[in-house]
Amino acid sequence: MCRAGCVRSLTLAVVVVVVVVVVVVVTPPTSSFLSCSEHGAHVTNWTVGGRDVLFLSSKAVLDGSKAIRGGIPLCFPWFGPSTHPDSSLQHGFARVSNWRCVDEQQDGRGLTMELKDSDVDPALLAGYSDSKFVVRYSVKILDGSSLGLEMVVKNVGDVPLPFSLAFHSYFRVAAASVEVRLNATGVRFLDQLSGSEGVNAGGVVEGFGDREIDLVCYGVTNPIDIVTNEGEKRAKSKGTEGGASANATTVVTIDASDGLRDAVVWNPHVAKSKAMADFGDEEYREMVCVESARVETPVVVRAGGEWACSLRLRVFR
C-alpha cells in the first residue's frame, strides 16, 4: 500500500527494447516515462524520447501541502474561484486531496487512482457536503508518443451532482515561438483578465511571451495543436497548411472527448510569474497551459448516475 503523496513512475523502457523494431517503422519517439503523485492524482512528469512534454516548475511544492505547480493538475469539482461563500479555494479540492492508487497495470504502463467524498477534508468540501461521489482517474502510456487520461465520476448519493472541471496541463515549450491552434474558426472566448467576451476568428492563440494570456475558449470540439515554429520541412510531414504560418511544426496534439467542450489557454507572463511563490520569475518563457475543460455549462450527474471523459495527448517531433 502506498504512502500519501507517493510518486509512482511508469516506464516504457522494457517495451522499447522490444518495440524498437516496430516503433522505428511506425512512430519515431521510442521511449516514454511518466510519474504520478497520489497528492491530487497529479501527473508530474511525462517524457517522450527522453524529452519533457510537461512543464514542472523548479519551485513546485511536492510535500503535499499545496497544489503542485506544473504537470497536470485536476481542477474538480469547480474551475476558477469557488462560488461558495465559505470557500476561497481556487480550482476545487481534487488537486489538494490525497487519492488512492486502486490499480496498477501489470505492464507498468498505467494506473488508476480514486477519490471518494470521504477522502476529502470536510473543510474543503464547500457546497459538496451532501454529495456522495467516487471519482476514478486512469493514466496510461498508450504508445511511445501518446498518453491517455480517463475520468469517471459516479454519483453514489441521492442528490444531483453538478461540477465543472479542467485538466490544467502545463506543456514545456519555448513560449515565444508557440501558437495554440484550436482548429476551429469564430471561437467564442472569455478573457479572464478583463472579464470581456470576444470571438477568435482564426482559431489561433499566439503572442505568448508578450503579455499574460488567460482565455476560456468555448465550444472547442476539434483536437488542439500546440505548434512551434521550427521550419518548413517538418510542417509538410504533418500537412499543417492554411490559417496559420505554413512553417510550423506541431509538438503536441490534444484530443478530448465530447464532454470536454471548452479549452483554457494560459501563460502568466512577468507580473503573475513574480507573484507566484511556487513558480520561477522567468519560467513563463518555458510553458503554456492548454487545458481541456468543461466550464461554460457544468455537468450535472443524477443520483446513481455517472459521467465519463477522456483525453489523449500525442507528441509529434
Mark whether 91 is an active-site residue. Answer: no
Pick 15 or 265: Cβ nearer ligand TA6: 265
Q: Does position 291 bind ligand TA6 by CB under 6 A?
A: yes
Cβ 166 to ligand TA6 shortest distance, Å: 7
Site size for ligand TA6 (CB under 6 A):
11
Contact 43, 141 (CB under 8 A): no
Pick 189 or 316: Cβ nearer ligand TA6: 189
C-alpha cell of 10?
511508469
Cβ 15 to ligand TA6 shortest distance, Å: 34
29-88: which residues touch ligand TA6 (CB under 6 A)? Answer: 67, 80
Mark whether 286 is an active-site residue. Answer: no
Cβ 90 to ligand TA6 shortest distance, Å: 4
Pick 125 or 217: Cβ nearer ligand TA6: 217
Judged by CB under 6 A, the residue of 105, 177, 183, 192 near ligand TA6 is 192
Of 38, 168, 206, 269, the active-site residue reads 168
213-272: which residues touch ligand TA6 (CB under 6 A)? Answer: 214, 264, 266
91-110: which residues touch ligand TA6 (CB under 6 A)? Answer: 91
Cβ 35 to ligand TA6 shortest distance, Å: 19
Chain positions contacting ligand TA6, by CB under 6 A:
67, 80, 90-91, 168, 192, 214, 264, 266, 289, 291
Active site residues: 168, 291
